[in-house]
Amino acid sequence: MPTPQQSPSTHKTLSVRDTSSPSNSSLIKQLKNDLKSKQHQHNHSQQEQHKHKQITKKQKLDKDNKSSNTKNSDDVDDVDMDDDDVQEANDAQIQLVHKQPIIRDFFKKSNSERTTSFLRPFSSFVGSQESGRATYEVKVDLKEVDLSRSHLCGFLTIHGLTDSHPEITTFFKGEIIGPHYSFYTDHEMWGSTKGDDLQHWGRFPSWRNLDFDPDFDFANDHIYQNAYNNEYLYMRWKELFLVPDAKIKDIRGASFAGFYYVCFNQYRGSISGLYFHRCSDRFQKLELAHIPDGGITPTYSYA
């Protein structure tokens, strides 16, 4: 039997767009450029935000510092200090730095760390020393004075002590009683004991008025710390060698092996002293007065 013939039919053909065509390539390129642009804008925005945060933080710190400085300034301005308060504050600050008592000059409205009006380099004192029934003329010339170290030195000249040496000059150093030196002599070679020290210091009326504890020297710290601010200063003067010939160790009829207990009046510039040596007359008295120099300062040289 013959196969039935199919009738003709129409088929639609679907076309697929070719991505390799020029128009599609341009579109893809444009999309990539848009993506890069958006990424760049995003990065720039983040940088601007970070920068803004840093500026804001700095402005806040500057504001806080300014506020703090203004407060401190206001606190200072609120303090009303007169001249006495300023001077007291300066004194306290100097004392804190140096850890030393302020040395007051009794004849000037100023503070000094090294000297006073009479007790200074090139000051001279004249007077006498009594030994038994004899009296000898004495002159003292100070060469160096430093109260901050409780130290001084100079020349002591005595006249008529022996026929062979009508004038004898010795170089001496001094210890000033205060923050560095006690009333008790701390030199075994000088030959004095605590009993000798108390006997000699006790012969000065001003010393007897001190609240001194002979049994416990640490209790006397208030005396030592304020020693330079009182009317009287106490010292020990030790003669070291003859001038100009330091090689001479002794002179017949004279002795410079001992030392002096000294009481110095800061108001008048006067000196009272007692000479001590085991082999010499006891309690030899020294009395000296300051020589006004009229502003003339001579110069000396010594080895």
At 91-101, the pLDDT tens digits run 544 443 334 44
Higher pLDDT, 279 or 217: 217
Judgement on whether residues 264 and 121 belong to the same structural domain of the protein? yes
85 pLDDT tier (thresholds 50, 70, 90): low
Within this chain, do residues 239 and 116 fall inside the same structural domain, yes or no?
yes
Q: Please give the tally of structural domains in the chain.
A: 2
> Is 182's pLDDT higher than 50?
yes
**233 domain residue, yes or no:** yes
Q: DSSP labels for the chain?
A: -PPPPPPP-----PPPP-TTSHHHHHHHHHHHHHHHHHHHHHHHHHHHHHHHHHHHHHHHHHHHHHHHHHHHHHHHHT----HHHHHHHHHHHHHHHH-S--EE-TTSSSEESS--SSSSTT-EEEEEEEETTEEEEEEEEEEEEEGGGTEEEEEEEEESS-SS-SEEEEEEEEEESSSS--SS---GGG---HHHHHHHHTTSHHHHTS---SS-GGGGHHHHHTGGGSSEEEEEEEEEEEES-TT---BTTB--SSEEEEEEETTT--EEEEEE-TTS-TTEEEEEEEPP-TT--------
Confidence band for 156, pLDDT divided at 50, 70 and 90: very high
The whole model's pTM is what?
0.60
Q: Is residue 104 part of a domain?
A: no
Domain that holds residue 154: 112-290
The reply to whether 133 and 269 lie within a common domain is yes
Looking at the fold, whether 34 and 133 belong to one and the same domain comes out as no
